[in-house]
Chains A and B, each alone.
Chain A
């Protein structure tokens, strides 16, 4: 599929001479929905500016502006928002209130719900914020897009085109994520920059499932390049973003309900890795001070013990964690994993899509049950 805009970013066919510059901070929900937002906003006639990958300067700016005992991902959000503050006309900060409809209440995380409020009060010289409310419990998710497009002055016809383009881009992105790629690499592939399949998916003595929120998997500064260190120690690394919502949902459905949707996804991912037989070990990443994870981690440890067949490494990240520490842990963990030998190992390249392999596995189990 060819991209319609082959020129520099933002030079889509739409839009007049005075185009709005909309900034998107590279943090939190960015790693889930950026391809959609970019295509959608460009379709609405805006120029999209994404903040650069987190560096120490951005992290420091965020830490200075944010309260101290909040999780590292929110600090990164503050840093990115501050970086954008003097470069764009509007900043898109999504407000993810709920992302699934259930008989019980569902939420994402209070910090995601209040992200625009925090930025508005925490950074005084912010340009106007473009709120994008996702509250699936109350309104379908296109409702937020509709009001966003209206606010940007897009005609219904253009809005429809933007929506369609956005969904296409998002589908491409999610197909890439299904291979087990980390979100940052998938974004690079989408932009035609990175290598086709990253080395960490190709070969390794053992396979490690890396579980964590998209914003932890995708931000190499926050996760201290854990993927690289795991791979350097001899592991093939598969990110938990490879599972679709349905897959994790089915898996987590066997446990008592959880109102945090994203954490339920993680719980499902751990459980899937643990009994899927495709990986040899699981690494669970979380950020210090993450409220939902402090509880869900305990549930992982205790509720799922019965299905445990694999070793689990818990890694807590914050803005002080050093690469050496993560590297030591990654190496020690990979070294401790037993080599399952030729019998246990699957030939590489046989199943290009991680998810496809899982679907086959489920079918086999289904007949046995």
Chain B
């Protein structure tokens, strides 16, 4: 069985090892780029959201690389994402491709078991435990490298140094086979990234990025938003979601994530009492806690016509006004140009810088005034 799955950021690193350790042969299509999107666009419904189109392109690439099984997460949610697998595989079959589809969550567990049984063979429990352990370790390592990288990008002295290091370690991580290797690599990467020289006395602006999962995590789709903010504009951008959180939360591999999600839901409840099926709770709670977490601004990124995020869009302006935080909305679809995004980001960052300067000046004046009156 040659199994493939669509890309989402660096999720392919843990997923590849999971598939491999379960006994199937993983087929990883090339990282998505403009061409992938164009391929998906040809066959996707006109106003399906952008992730649909990119992942359809991914599936096409994977099938051309010789995959005979396509895996996808599905479900009966209010959000369209639950139907991606079903509709995409229908489109691909109509195009003449022959393959087996495994829809996790969308099919009966017994049906999935029937499909996977010949591959898994004997000793399933042991195999699965080992595969999940290495999957978790790799996901955690990717998460650590990524978060350090995000923090380092605006602060490094030589631009791009941290990115080069991270890319090297991510590649090695992808090739690592054993838990021990992953652990050693993780420590090594931590050390290497810590030793990158930082600029002195530079305090970057901090920006929280909220929005739709796939747009936040797939650099091909968000036109490398986080890196652009970090390396080019030298501000620290922190998305509320990460591959690690998404992969492990649904698999119950990290209970802390469940607690975090429950907290987000609790914070969101006064504004959106019902679940909408997307990441609306992370968006709203992320915006609500930005001030106390020390962020200077919020960027909301979402694909055109995304249902849960559009609902969040009606709420966010008033939430951000309440917190006195600037908000930039970035809508992504196949016509979004990198130049347009860059212009908006630059303007937004300029405004934030000016705002911070004004706020500090005001604070300083206030402090002087306060000391004067207290003395008098």
Contacts and interface: CB of A to CB of B under 8 A. Distances in A.
A299 interface: yes
B91 A118 contact: no
B313 interface: yes
A107 interface: yes
B273 to A, nearest CB: 8
Contact of B276 (A70, A114, A122): A114
Interface stretch (B81-89, B239-247, B368-376): B81-89
B80 A295 contact: yes
A70 B77 CA distance: 19
B87 A298 contact: yes
A303 B90 CA distance: 8
Interface in B303-354: 304-308, 310-311, 313-315, 317-318, 331
B271 A117 contact: yes
Contact of A259 (B76, B305, B315): B76
A157 to B, nearest CB: 31
A200 interface: no
A109 B80 CA distance: 10
A92 to B, nearest CB: 17
Contacts of A294: 45-49, 80, 305
Given A110-B277, A302-B94, A303-B90, A70 B78 contact: no
Contacts of B82: 259
A325 to B, nearest CB: 16
B314 A121 contact: yes
Given A66-B314, A69-B310, A110 B79 contact: yes
A118 B311 contact: yes
Interface string B272-310: 111011100000000000000000000000001111101
Contacts of B45: 294-295, 297-298
A110 B48 contact: no
A95 interface: yes
Contact of B86 (A66, A110, A256, A316): A256
B90 A302 contact: yes
B55 to A, nearest CB: 14
A67 B310 contact: yes
Contacts of A135: 274
A297 B87 CA distance: 10
A113 interface: yes
Contact of A110 (B78, B94, B271): B78
A266 B277 CA distance: 21
Contacts of B77: 105, 107, 259
Interface string A101-125: 0001111111101100110011010
Interface residues of B, number: 37
A355 interface: no
Contacts of A97: 274
A235 B344 CA distance: 50
Interface stretch (A45-53, A56-64, A284-292): A284-292
A153 interface: no
Interface in B248-280: 271-274, 276-278
Given A114-B311, A298-B90, A291 B276 contact: no
A140 interface: no
Contact of B78 (A113, A257, A302): A113
A295 B87 contact: yes
A118 B315 CA distance: 7
A114 B47 contact: no
Contact of A117 (B46, B48, B310, B315): B315
A260 interface: yes
B318 A121 contact: yes
A299 B313 CA distance: 29
Given A67-B314, A114-B272, A291 B307 contact: yes
A180 B210 CA distance: 46
Interface in B38-82: 45-49, 76-80, 82
A289 B78 contact: no
Nearest to A104: B76
Interface in A68-114: 69-70, 95, 97, 104-111, 113-114
A109 B305 contact: no
Contacts of A257: 76
A75 B80 CA distance: 21
Contacts of B305: 69-70, 288-289, 291, 294
A299 B315 CA distance: 32
Nearest to B316: A121
B278 A110 contact: yes
Contact of A298 (B78, B91, B274, B307): B91
Contacts of B79: 110, 291
Interface of A: 66-67, 69-70, 95, 97, 104-111, 113-114, 117-118, 121-122, 124, 135, 256-257, 259-260, 288-292, 294-295, 297-299, 302-303, 316
Interface of B: 45-49, 76-80, 82-83, 86-87, 90-91, 94, 271-274, 276-278, 304-308, 310-311, 313-315, 317-318, 331
Given A117-B311, A289-B304, 16 more contacts: A67-B313, A67-B314, A95-B274, A109-B78, A110-B78, A110-B278, A111-B310, A113-B78, A114-B311, A260-B78, A289-B305, A292-B80, A295-B48, A295-B87, A302-B91, A316-B47
- Give 6 nearest A-B pairs by CB, closest first: A259-B76, A107-B78, A291-B307, A289-B305, A110-B276, A110-B307
16 contacts: A69-B331, A70-B305, A110-B276, A110-B308, A111-B311, A117-B315, A121-B318, A259-B77, A259-B78, A291-B80, A292-B80, A294-B45, A295-B80, A298-B90, A303-B90, A316-B47
